[in-house]
Chains A and B, each alone.
Chain A
Amino acid sequence: DAGVTQSPTHLIKTRGQQVTLRCSPKSGHDTVSWYQQALGQGPQFIFQYYEEEERQRGNFPDRFSGHQFPNYSSELNVNALLLGDSALYLCASRTTGSMAQYFGPGTRLLVL
């Protein structure tokens, strides 16, 4: 049973650049959420996708955008990167019948 996968594992960018992170949900899951985790903090909710639409959004600027594909995989895009965007970006998936979310290994983004 394949778990949640994310790519890439690590990424280094410079301020002002754009980045795309990718996520494949756990087998059988159709809802994908993205979280940002700064060092020493709990994950912060960015947004959630279901049926290829953004269903909920956390307190993040429009520089953060996403997409969900028909196979339920998802992308997170961040434009105009800031130093403060450096964090671990986590993708989590679930089925619509459950609130339990399972996390992927994350993508560690460093903005210089």
Chain B
Amino acid sequence: QKEVEQNSGPLSVPEGAIASLNCTYSDRGSQSFFWYRQYSGKSPELIMFIYSNGDKEDGRFTAQLNKASQYVSLLIRDSQPSDSATYLCAVTGGTSYGKLTFGQGTILTVHP
């Protein structure tokens, strides 16, 4: 079992729709959860992080965390073509304190 798994892509949504990206993790001691956006040929950019169960909203982005289910998600409302990128889920804490363990990424395409 991979430590961090993301829903297989690619994911394609129309402009203005909600994009839903999902991630599960295996280390129950994980404490911090991150979403990075990576445009083709560029480095990962931190867009959201969440530490507590529940929802955290930042503009068009909402991160959701359920530690009991070991599940974290990212919702992008009113998706724009500029949101087209690879989204990486990362976790830290527990046995991997201080280091980020990444999923393989989900490619999102927002078409006009």
Residues of A bordering B, CB below 8 Å: 31, 33, 35, 40-45, 48, 55-56, 58, 88, 90, 92, 99-106
Question: Are B93's CB and A103's CB within 8 A?
Answer: no
Identify 6 residue pairs between A and B in the complex whose beta-carbon atoms are under 8 Å apart, listed by A's number.
A35-B100, A43-B102, A58-B99, A88-B43, A99-B34, A101-B46
A48 touching B98 in the complex, CB below 8 Å, given contacts A41-B104, A42-B104, A100-B34:
yes
| Contact partners of B100 in chain A: CB under 8 A | 33, 35, 43, 45, 92, 101
Q: Is B49's beta carbon under 8 Å from chain A? A: yes
Q: Residue of A at shortest CB range from B34?
A: A100
Q: Does more than half of chain B's interface fall in helix, strand or loop, or is it mixed?
A: strand
With known contacts A45-B99, A55-B98, A56-B99, A102–B104 Cβ distance under 8 A: no
Q: CB < 8 Å: which of B43, B97, B99, B103 contacts A103?
A: B43
Interface residues on B, range: 20 to 34
- CA–CA, A88 to B104, complex, Å? 15
A31 to B105, CA, bound (A): 25
Contacts of B7 in A (CB 8 A): none
A104 to B105, CA, bound (A): 19
- Complex Cα–Cα for A46 and B36 (A): 18
Task: Choose among A92, A100, A104 the residue that contacts B49 (Cβ–Cβ < 8 A).
Answer: A100
A41-B105, A43-B88, A105-B42 known; 19 new pairs, CB 8 Å cut-off, are: A33-B99, A33-B100, A35-B100, A40-B104, A41-B104, A42-B103, A42-B104, A42-B105, A56-B98, A56-B99, A88-B43, A99-B32, A99-B34, A99-B49, A99-B93, A99-B98, A100-B34, A103-B44, A104-B43
> Do residues B43 and A105 form an inter-chain contact, with CB atoms below 8 A?
yes
Bound form: Cα–Cα A55–B93 in Å: 14
Taking CB atoms, residues of chain B closer than 8 Å to A41 are 104-105
